[in-house]
Structure formats: C-alpha cells, structure tokens
Amino acid sequence: MRAILLARFSRGIVLAVLPLAVLPLAGCHRQPSPPAPAPDAAARIGGEDVRYGDFESYLKRTVNDTDGVLGSDVLSQLFDQFLEERLLARLAIDRKVVREAQGAAGQRAAIEALLASRQPSDPASGEEVARYYAAHRQDFARPERVKLRQILTQDRATAERALKEIGGGTDFAEVSRRLSRDPGAAAGGYQGELTRDDLPPSFAEVIFGLKPGEVSRLVSADYGFHIFQVTEREPAQVISLDAARPEILAKLRQERADLLLQSLVQEARARYNVAVNGRNLPFDYEGYYSDSHAKTSR
C-alpha cells in the first residue's frame, strides 16, 4: 500500500512540475533579437551596418573632396544621397530586378535597372508636347546671335599686318591660322554662335555693329589686340513647336524620371528602417534621417 501511495505521490509531483518545465522550452522558439550595430557604424539600413569608410569612398567618386572643405549642410545632403542610393539598390534586389548590387558600379546598375523597370515605355503625346510649349513659350525665345571669327595678337604691329592682308584679299580664316594667338586659330579663329550676353559690353557693341562678312577695326584689350569678323547673323526669334519638339521631349522624359525616382525613394524609405549614428560622423549631421527632421515632419 505504501509503495502504491508513493507511486501516486511521485506521479503527482511530475504532473505538477511539467507545465513549469515547458515554459523555458517555449521561450527557446522566440525570434532572436537583431544584432546590435557595430561600434563604428555611421548608419543602419534595415539592420545592415553602413560604415563611414564607404561614404568617404562615395565622396571621392562624387565630389573629389574629403579634406573638410565642405560644410555640414552639404555633407548631410550628400550623406542622404549616399544612403538613398543604397536604399534603391536594395529595393531593386528585393523586387528581383537584379540579383545583387556589389560595389559602386553594381549599385548604379541596380538603380538604373529599377528605374527602367518602372519607366513607362510610351513617349509623350503630341498634346503633352504642345501643352508644354504653350506653357513655356518664353523658354524658346532666342536672342539675336552672330557667328564670329577673331584674330588675337599680342602686339599692334602684328594686328595691323593682319588687317592689311585681309584688306588685300587674303581670307580671314587663313590669316587667323598664321598670325593669331587665339586657341581657336587652328579652326580659322571661329568662336561659335554668340549672343550679346556672351560678350563683354565693349566687344558686343563692335561685333553687333558688323554686317555678315564685315571685318572690325582693331579692338585693344589689356592682353592684346582683337580683329573680329561676323560670318552670319540670326535675328531674335521664338523657335517653332516643331523645332522645339526634341528639346521638349527630352525635358518631359527627365521630369518623368525625376518623379519616378522620388516615388521610389519614398517607397524605399517606408520599407527599410534607416537610422543614422551621428556620433560616428565627423560633421554635424542635419539631414532627412536626423532626429530633428523626424520631429518637425510629424
């Protein structure tokens, strides 16, 4: 009888203890906490450390300035840009647009692929182009322009010799190639198509007073003597819709790309938690991911 009681008592102890023993076992199945950030991490993107050394490399590629010349405001903007390129590359991988994005070149390729995957393939319609032209007509106004050649000499004697040869019938471009010290001498002194705003006022007054083919008098400067020839003149005008179409299409494509990029950045910001560790940055971070910005944007 005593043996039976002991057995029953023992079973009661076991049954009473079992639920307590199960509790620690259930705790073993909880998800482990994410690892703490590395002591030198400048930021974290979705649990992944971002080292400051990576940002230094980014600066060298982007602005070639790591000597402390840039202010904290500019560095903050560049740091945000650096982080957002990482965000977009990660989004490209998670959306299976690319398999990986290793290194700077890999990240750029991933971002380009992500943009291409979301960029509408259809070009802007004729109505969109016409609406843009009507709304930005002033952007297609072209001031009066001249196509210009010049001869530049260091001394008056050479300039006068050049003028004498041109007056005797020698081609202006040929004289420029022989006597001019201007960098464009090899091209016959050609300076391109210029407006009044492209020229010093004293030069513009002389040049825009010339007829096509006409040669100027000597025009002195601190560094030598100029002789100008206008080869063509174009009046002020507003270019037509047809002529402006390629430029408008390029601008509309760029606008669409900019809007798409902003949308993807917002999507990536919402998807991945970004935390900046300002203590590990050698400048006062005041960018988008700062605590102060987060408070003001609430």
| Structure confidence by residue, pLDDT tens digits, 89-131 | 999 999 999 999 988 899 999 999 999 998 776 677 889 999 9
Per the structure block, which two tokens stand in for 161?
Answer: 């010799």
Give the model's pLDDT for residue 28. Answer: 47
Q: Are 268 and 88 in contact (CB under 8 A)?
A: yes
What average pLDDT does this structure show over 204-225?
A: 95
Q: Are 278 and 285 in contact (CB under 8 A)?
A: yes
241 by Cβ neighbours in 10 Å (0-12 / 13-18 / 19+) ranks as: middle
**Residue 162 confidence (pLDDT) above 90:** yes
DSSP string, 1-27: -HHHHHHHHHHHHHHHHHHHHHHHHHH
Give the model's pLDDT for residue 36. Answer: 60
Domains and CATH numbers, the chain: 41-121+258-296 (no CATH), 144-235 (3.10.50.40)
Q: Which DSSP category does 211 fall into? A: P
Quick one: what percent of the chain has pLDDT higher than 70?
A: 83
Q: CA 171, 177, 180, 183: dihedral to nearest 10 degrees?
A: 130
E strands of 32-172, at which residues?
41-45, 48-51, 141-142, 145-153
Q: What is the pLDDT of residues 234-262, one digit of tens each?
A: 999 999 999 999 999 999 989 998 999 99
The pTM score is 0.58
What average pLDDT does this structure show over 136-161?
A: 95
Least confident of 5-14, 36-45, 49-58, 123-132: 5-14
DSSP string, 162-182: HHHHHHTT--HHHHHHHH--S
